[in-house]
Amino acid sequence: MRDMFLVNRPLITEKAARLSEAGQYIFSVKGNTTKNEIKKVIKEMYKVEVDKVNIVNTAGKTRRYRGQKKQGQGFKKAIVILKKGQKINLTV
Q: What domain range includes position 56?
A: 2-82
Q: What's the CATH code of the domain at 55?
A: 3.30.70.330
57 within some domain: yes
Residue 67: left (phi > 0), alpha (psi -120 to 50), or beta?
left
50 within some domain: yes
Q: Is the pLDDT of residue 92 over 60?
A: no
Q: Which residues contact 87 (CB under 8 A, 6 or more apart)?
A: 23, 48
28 within some domain: yes
Q: What pLDDT, on the 0 to 100 scale, is given for residue 2?
A: 62
Q: What is the pTM of this model?
A: 0.84
Q: How many domains, the chain?
A: 1
7 within some domain: yes
90 within some domain: no
> Which amino acid is located at 4 in the chain?
M
43 within some domain: yes
What average pLDDT is seen over the chain? 91
75 within some domain: yes
17 within some domain: yes
**pLDDT interval class at 37 (50, 70, 90):** very high
Q: What pLDDT, on the 0 to 100 scale, is given for residue 18?
A: 93
